[in-house]
Structure 1
Amino acid sequence: MNRLAVFDCDGTLVDSQANICRAMEATFAAASLPSPSRADIRRIVGLSLVPAIAMLHPQGELALHEEMAEGYKRAFFAMRSSNALDPEPLFDGIREAIDTLEASGWLLGVATGKSDRGLRLLLEHHGLFNRFVTLQTADRHPSKPHPSMLQLAISEAGAAPETSVMIGDTSFDIEMARAAGVRAVGVVWGYHTPEELLAAGADQVVVHASALPAVLESL
């Protein structure tokens, strides 16, 4: 049975908070609403757009949240089209961790609240698109923490829940893993605290990407 390591994207593979915050601020401004703080915006990274906006604006109705989700997409597209995106660098040690895991026989995947197009552009930019055997996005799944993304990733990779691990920086990632019967490793360089990751059920929490291969082998 194949072994599968599934990474979250924003806050786990790459530091994308600046662009997410700017697009969300533009979305709220276009709706004539006060913008949430950047700290609050970072809290919802990883969710699909409609539930993320609902968490930031709980008094709004579904129709407004859906309209704002489309506005977020337009804002992000405008930033990309005008070459106004901030860099979205890989976190330190991620590329090396991917190399080591792949050399050790792990198959790699991504489960993210991004769109198919956004994920592909990001991975291609970093030369990593072909390193992943399964890519699951919000375009085809319910939002995290629903287990759908992991369930399909496991199926596509020919793995099993007991031979798979989810790696992520938010409680949404950890809760998704638990719902899918998958082990979970939290990372501290993202947007939720180590305490939150452990409370959500992370098997282990790592402080640097270089620790990931050894931790996955130990689970």
Structure 2
Amino acid sequence: MTILMETTPYKACLFDLDGTLVDTLFSIAHFGNGALESFGLPAIAPAAYKRLVGNGADVLIQRMLETVGARLRPEDVKALRAAYDRRYEADPLALAGPYPGLPDVLARLHERGVLLGVLSNKPDNMTQYIAHAFYGKVLSQVRGQREGSPKKPDPAVPLEMAAAWGLSPGEILYIGDSGVDMETGKNAGMDACGVLWGFRDEEELRRCGAVYLAGDPAQLEQAALGKGRKA
């Protein structure tokens, strides 16, 4: 049963990118499989990439190799990562797009004065490009994985972003589609909302600390206003 909670709306929302704001599954699969095939390795079914992503590009490459049962020398693993990056950077919007309804939800939240940002484990250059291409008009902060900065679920970067907004963690809702995202919110002292249209399932989101669950953009908007479906 859905329960509406009458609480104070959050002052900011911090979003994951892949599987949350932007459907990049076929994009990642396209570039990942292109890199694998350039090394004479078999392609992976796009649906399988749902379980491979979420912890950054280096981990993605490791999981891709495990999936196809290949063992490469360290220098070849680096070369495979470079091949993936080259393909992605050449056409970062290929086969990608915002999930239906989300641009309107973010626009309404922005109009209400809710601050909006993106934090992803995707490399920073690609995170910046994709987030700004689809949502740039409403975003005040965007961070991807940068050298020297810890990846999610470490709370360091979300706390830096909270400080840049001048907000306490409890005033921010962290929104994502994976257990890593739920743990990121929990570790940073932020409530976490798990979206059910992304790459991972409801059980993982609940197990990893989701406070809210959103089955569609309307439910996400309610969560951002403090009235969402409790997990």
Decide: shared fold, TM above 0.5. Answer: yes
Per-residue deviation, residues 16-43 of structure 1 (Å, max 9, x unmatched): 1111101111122223333333232122
Q: Is the 8 A contact 2:177 2:195 kept in 1?
A: yes
- Secondary structure of 2:63's match? helix
Q: Is the 8 A contact 2:153 2:184 kept in 1?
A: yes
Per-residue deviation, residues 91-137 of structure 1 (Å, max 9, x unmatched): 122112112222333111101123333233323433x2141121110
Q: Is the 8 A contact 2:125 2:144 kept in 1?
A: no
Q: Does 1:67 align with 2:79?
A: yes
Q: State which of 19, 35, 42 in structure 2 corresponds to 1:27.
A: 35
Partner Cα separation in structure 1 for residue 203 and residue 72 of structure 2: 30
Q: State which of 117, 139, 148 in structure 1 corresponds to 2:146.
A: 139
Q: Is the 8 A contact 2:56 2:123 kept in 1?
A: no
- C-alpha displacement of 1:199: 1.1
Partner Cα separation in structure 1 for residue 155 and residue 20 of structure 2: 18
Partner Cα separation in structure 2 for residue 110 and residue 35 of structure 1: 30
Partner Cα separation in structure 1 for residue 119 and residue 16 of structure 2: 5
Partner Cα separation in structure 1 for residue 169 and residue 143 of structure 2: 16
Structure 1 residues 6, 32: CA separation in 2 closer, same or farther (over 3 Å shift)?
A: same
Unpaired stretches in structure 1, ≥5 consecutive residues: none
Q: Corresponding residue for 2:17? A: 9
Q: TM-score, normalised by structure 2?
A: 0.82
Partner Cα separation in structure 1 for residue 179 and residue 65 of structure 2: 20
Greater CA drift, 117-126 or 193-202: 117-126
Q: TM-score, normalised by structure 1?
A: 0.86
Per-residue deviation, residues 44-70 of structure 1 (Å, max 9, x unmatched): 333210022223334556554433222
- Secondary structure of 2:22's match? coil
Task: Count matched residues.
Answer: 213
Per-residue deviation, residues 142-183 of structure 1 (Å, max 9, x unmatched): 332222331222122111111111101111111111221211
Partner Cα separation in structure 2 for residue 165 and residue 137 of structure 1: 18
- C-alpha displacement of 1:75: 1.7
